[in-house]
Amino acid sequence: MGNKQTVFTPEQLDAYQDCTFFTRKEILRLFYRYRDLAPQLVPLDYTDKPDVTLPYELIGSMPELKDNPFRQRIAEVFSENGDGNMTLDDFLDMFSVLSEMAPRDLKAYYAFKIYDFNNDDYICKSDLEKTVNKLTRNELTPEEVSLVCEKVIYEADVDNDGKLSLEDFQHMIIRAPDFLSTFHIRI
């Protein structure tokens, strides 16, 4: 293919193609989307691997993410130090996992990390409560929220420790018919 671009070296592009589910054209397109968020911060030449991080506010204002109630958690999970500020690598990684080519297991792994608000490798009752409130925008009464969380733990908790581990979550979500189609962002 014609090497008309000067943003990445060919080795970099190949490495990105190996590490994500994107093709060359898509990676370049994503780079330009990343750059459009802050043209003055992101250089046009990535051959020397500059260390550029975009703050969370810019990422969260992207049209694909701005209406998503979990955008903060998504950015935190895919950013390097968990604060939501993302480099280009994190950006590519995020959209690669959320693309339709990513397999079910990979998506389940990252979904677990997204819904684990306190980062303790378990989805406990407080995480569930936060999820429900984000989903319904606090429209449910506390009793209803509590009931829903108890039901979820009852349904999915296999090892009976009162919280969902990664295995519980994966076991439950792999069977969901809608999971692949809803846990998907097209960019």
The residue ranges that bind other proteins (CB under 8 A) are 1, 15, 17-19, 23-26, 63-64, 66-70, 80, 89-90, 92-93, 98, 104, 111, 115, 128, 131-132, 135-137, 139-140, 144, 147-148, 151-152, 155-156, 158, 160, 172-187
Question: What is the smallest separation between the CB atom of 41 and other proteins, expressed in angstroms?
Answer: 19
Of 54 and 128, nearer to other proteins (C-beta) is 128
Distinct helix (H) and strand (E) counts, the chain:
10, 0
Question: What is the smallest separation between the CB atom of 50 and other proteins, expressed in angstroms?
Answer: 14
Cα–Cα dist 59/64, whole Å: 10
Q: How far is CA 184 from CA 49, 102, 118, 179, in A?
A: 29, 9, 23, 9
Of 42 and 128, nearer to other proteins (C-beta) is 128
Cα–Cα dist 65/60, whole Å: 6
Query: Residue written as tokens 């990684």?
Result: 93
Question: What is the smallest separation between the CB atom of 45 and other proteins, expressed in angstroms?
Answer: 18
The answer for 138, left when phi > 0, alpha when psi is -120 to 50, beta otherwise, is: left
Question: What is the smallest separation between the CB atom of 83 and other proteins, expressed in angstroms?
Answer: 16
The one-letter code for the residue type at 66 is: K
